[in-house]
Amino acid sequence: MMKQASETVDLTSLMQQQRAYFSSGATRSFSFRKAALGRLEEVLINHRDALREALEKDLGKPNVEAYLAEYYFLLQELRLIRKSSERWLKTKAVKSPVYFLPCKSQLRRDPFGMVLIVAPWNYPMQLSLSPLIAAVAAGNTVVLKPSEMAPACEQLLAKIIAEVFAPEHVAVVIGDGEVADDLTDRVFDFVFFTGSTHIGKIVAAKAAKNLTPNIMELGGKCPCIVDASAKVDTAAQRILNGKFFNGGQTCFAPDYVIVAPEIKDALVDAMREKLSKTPWNDEMAHIINDRHYKRLEKLIPDGALKFGDDDRARLRLAPRILPEVDWDSDVMQEEIFGPLLPILSYTDYEDLLRHIGKHDSPLALYIFSEDAAMKERLMNDVRSGGVCINDTMKQGSSLEMPFGGVGASGYGRYRGKAGVRAFSYERAVVTKPTWGPDWFELMPPYGDKINLLKRFLR
């Protein structure tokens, strides 16, 4: 395995092995793919406790959050894909134009080849293995680069993958940002990146140099709109659930709330009451590292409502709601990615759109409203990767729905069926028999063929 950016020979050798393995056709068999995914399921189950311990070391994740988001969710996706991928990828017959006959026209889905997956630190197991499962099911070989910022999970991923796969099929490459730079400079057949918009632009630009197809799963400031018709108590609870899950370090968490002025005080009071009763110091993931902790501290404005105590030594930042911020505040200039929740208000619909439009298209749009016309209008007027109405996070947590962004929040979709299709491409195949007539010989001299065309092709 590659440990440092300078060890390029090992990586070059690994890529050569993977290309040769893919070219051998070894990954083409559906029985081979299903067997590999079956081994992964078994090993993942055997490492359930190790997974929980690694997530505790890296992020201080509560057991419930770790189990649901980074273990059970993966198991469910793995089982669904293993059961259904052959059907999803089955070659399909389509109609042929009459002037092609006799012939057979088909659409088949083929794997890209050698895939690079670059994963983030905030959900280090889920966001590494979810795309990997889909890539393997589609018939690719995979090089996985986990985030070095979650070192316990990085080591566990390397262990799990080594137990399940031969390195020429799937391999984990461990290292820092220089290693990631080296990897993204190389020529793969497909690149899947999850991370910040800033780094995503760099990775996408590198892929473009080689015309490498790619998926970018990024982030952005996801707005949460609460209009005057919303049920305040329900909105308060569900917004808090989404915002502070994983310590606010979720790419599609509600980034800020923009609320009708007549219910702003009621919403803040409801949130204050609920937060005051929650033991956040021991029941919320900590900030990933000291650099991000310092960044978040600088974003906290005067007038912030704090719930619990900060613990710098343990990287635990108490959750805060920020009811006194304005649109020019520092916290409104970047994606927060932490347990800080700004709450702003709007005067009318045009004012609402104007303020939301100051930020790029987000990964998610959250709407709390009982007004059907308002909900439909917002979905038409505000572009986003996904939408969740009267709740948060659910649109990104269903295996029956594709997940991804639009514009600055990324492009491409995955999860379940969408993931398997993302790691394969559609290929048109037309088969002509050697018997039978060729109705139109498209070679000069054409003679009076134009009259025949006009007669039959109208």
* Residues forming the active site: 217, 251
Q: Which residues contact 215 (CB under 8 A, 6 or more apart)?
A: 191, 192, 193, 404, 410, 411, 412, 413, 414, 422
CA distance linking residue 218 with residue 361, whole number of Å:
11
HEC letters along the chain: CCCCCCCHHHHHHHHHHHHHHHHCCCCCCHHHHHHHHHHHHHHHHHCHHHHHHHHHHHHCCCHHHHHHHHHHHHHHHHHHHHHHHHHHCCCEEECCCHHHCCCEEEEEEEECCEEEEECCCCCCCHHHHHHHHHHHHCCCEEEEECCCCCHHHHHHHHHHHHHHCCCCCEEECCCCHHHHHHHHHCCCCEEEEECCHHHHHHHHHHHHHCCCCEEEECCCCCEEEECCCCCHHHHHHHHHHHHHHHHHCCCCCCCEEEECHHHHHHHHHHHHHHHHCCCCCCCCCCCCCHHHHHHHHHHCCCCCEECCCCEHHHCECCCEEECCCCCCCHHHCCCCCCCEEEEEECCCHHHHHHHHCCCCCCCEEEEECCCHHHHHHHHHHCCCCEEEECCCCHHHCCCCCCECCCHHHEECCECHHHHHHHCEEEEEEEECCCCCCCCCCCCCCCCCHHHHHHHHCC
Alpha-carbon span 110 to 143, nearest angstrom = 18
Write out the two tokens for 431.
């088969």
Pairing of strands 223-226, 364-368: parallel
> Measured between alpha carbons, how far is residue 61 from residues 187, 377, 394 in Å?
36, 38, 20
Q: Are strands 190-194 and 214-217 parallel, antiparallel or unpaired?
A: parallel
CA distances from residue 106 to 91, 139, 439 in whole angstroms, order as listed: 7, 19, 21
